Amino acid sequence: MSERENRQVNISIDLAAIRYNLKRARELSVGAKIFSVIKADAYGHGALRILPALADSDAFAVANVSEGLAIRNAGQDKPVLVLQGFHSTQQLRDCGRAGLWPVIHHREQLNMFDGVKLTAPLAGCWVKVDSGMGRLGFKPAEIPQICTHVRQLGVPVLGMLTHYASADRVADISTDRQLRVFRKTSHAGVDRSASNSAAILTRRDSDFEWVRPGLMLYGADPREYHPGMSDNEDAALQPAMRVTAPVIAVRELKRGDRVGYGGTYECKENTRVAIVGAGYGDGYPRAVSPGTCVMLGNRRVPIIGRVSMDSMSVDISALSVSPPLDYPVTLWGHDSLRVDEIADRVSTIAYELLCSIRGKRSWHDPAAGINVRALK
């Protein structure tokens, strides 16, 4: 029995939502080609299982060479950009053999060509410009020399890319600064790519020839969350992941009773409580602030007391009927309870929650009428 199978949290992935979100990315970035970013197992959505929903992508982007090999082995033959490039000669060979497009971001990578006989030459690479993020990439002044060096190695420079540090904060001027640097650095004759999801949603001036949506494909909004985000901030994305856990008990507690570790919550009146079978052991954040909700049917009900390793308590006094045991409670992934809201409650980002949650995953395609049960 695998680690996932013996969990009672269910993670249901909606392939139609992913297909729709990709269409949104296309509409927004008119004319640009799309690298669908599927690193970290497609942000927890199962990279290999969601590929059919991303069939309209022009190419894919992964973080590392292993991820690239995995999608090649699954029969995917579109271009695959490896965002971190290779960092060993073995990985350089793998990039050649599997036809991956590595990102060149460090001089050491160029030294690795010395004395390595590639069974297949690199089909091409992308050169990374550090326009201000201060993570991977060459300083703008180094770029011309690096491109010349790469070409001398017989490797075509297919494009140049850069990555924004703060595109999620719409008014942050550092994005303008990075964009100016990138425009000046990149030159004619090669493709360019700068936009992540946040820039696709907010910056038409940054589309260039290629865009790199990740989070938005999964239906979460990368922009800084604030309660009641207005309509014109609504990206009209469809959440692709729904997380549910069963009701394992319903209890009547009395005024003054305390709930959970540390007794941090005291019932102000008689309270009907449902115990839900999910906790931080499943990757649900223990740090949720008081008032964070789950959904029972279409009703939001608040978590009370501390989240335990494999359970949490919710106040269901407001419901006229109690749920039966085993009733699925939604932890996120409902139109009225988005992962963005839960992330805000724990001062993190949707990315982290999507990647951290663990459970039995299943993939559904309502449009195609296919219901694929959990694997492994």
Ligand X SMILES: *Cc1c(COP(=O)(O)O)cnc(C)c1O
Min. distance of Cβ 213 from ligand X in angstroms?
A: 5
Min. distance of Cβ 166 from ligand X in angstroms?
A: 11
Only segment of 67-75, 106-114, 208-216, 255-263 that touches ligand X (CB under 6 A): 208-216
Distance, in Å, from the CA atom of 271 to the CA atom of 59, rounded to the nearest integer, reads: 53
39 assigned to active site: yes
DSSP-based helix, strand, coil % in the chain, nearest 5: 30, 25, 45
Cβ-based burial of 366 (10 A; exposed 0-12, middle 13-18, buried ≥19): exposed
Buried b (16+ CB within 10 A) or exposed e, 248-286: beeeebeeeeebbeeeebebeeebbbbbbbbbbebbbbe
Q: Does 102 bind ligand X (CB under 6 A)?
A: no
Q: Does 81 bind ligand X (CB under 6 A)?
A: no
Q: Residue number with the shortest CB distance to ligand X?
A: 214
Using the rule CB under 6 A, which residue among 175, 196, 202, 206 binds ligand X? 196
Q: Which of 20, 33, 39, 351 is catalytic?
A: 39
Only segment of 191-199, 226-234, 285-293, 331-339 that touches ligand X (CB under 6 A): 191-199
Q: Structure tokens of 160?
A: 């140049």
Min. distance of Cβ 252 from ligand X in angstroms?
A: 45
Contacts 24+ apart (CB under 8 A), 262-267: 262/306, 263/305, 264/305, 264/306, 265/290, 265/304, 265/305, 265/306, 265/313
Q: Which of 23, 139, 184, 261 is catalytic?
A: 261
Min. distance of Cβ 61 from ligand X in angstroms?
A: 7
Nearer to ligand X, 35 or 332 (CB): 35
Q: What is the identity of the amino acid at 35? A: F
Nearer to ligand X, 212 or 306 (CB): 212
Q: Structure tokens of 308?
A: 């335990």
225 assigned to active site: no
Q: Does 316 bind ligand X (CB under 6 A)?
A: no
Q: Could you say which residues in the range 30-59 bind ligand X, by CB under 6 A?
A: 37, 39
Using the rule CB under 6 A, which residue among 105, 192, 212, 306 binds ligand X? 212
Nearer to ligand X, 236 or 367 (CB): 236
DSSP E strands in the chain: the ranges are 10-14, 33-37, 59-62, 80-82, 101-104, 125-128, 157-161, 191-193, 210-211, 241-253, 258-259, 265-266, 271-276, 293-296, 299-304, 312-315, 328-332, 360-365, 370-372
Q: Could you say which residues in the range 128-187 bind ligand X, by CB under 6 A?
A: 163
Using the rule CB under 6 A, which residue among 46, 85, 214, 323 binds ligand X? 214
Distance, in Å, from the CA atom of 18 to the CA atom of 107, rounded to the nearest integer, reads: 37
Using the rule CB under 6 A, which residue among 222, 239, 277, 328 binds ligand X? 222
Q: Does 79 bind ligand X (CB under 6 A)?
A: no
Q: Does 19 bind ligand X (CB under 6 A)?
A: no
Nearer to ligand X, 212 or 242 (CB): 212
8 Å CB contact between 13 and 241 = yes
Cβ-based burial of 74 (10 A; exposed 0-12, middle 13-18, buried ≥19): exposed
Distance, in Å, from the CA atom of 67 to the CA atom of 88, rounded to the nearest integer, reads: 15
Using the rule CB under 6 A, which residue among 51, 62, 83, 295 binds ligand X? 83
Nearer to ligand X, 214 or 323 (CB): 214
Min. distance of Cβ 97 from ligand X in angstroms?
A: 23
Q: Which residues bind ligand X (CB under 6 A)?
A: 37, 39, 83, 163, 196-198, 212-215, 222
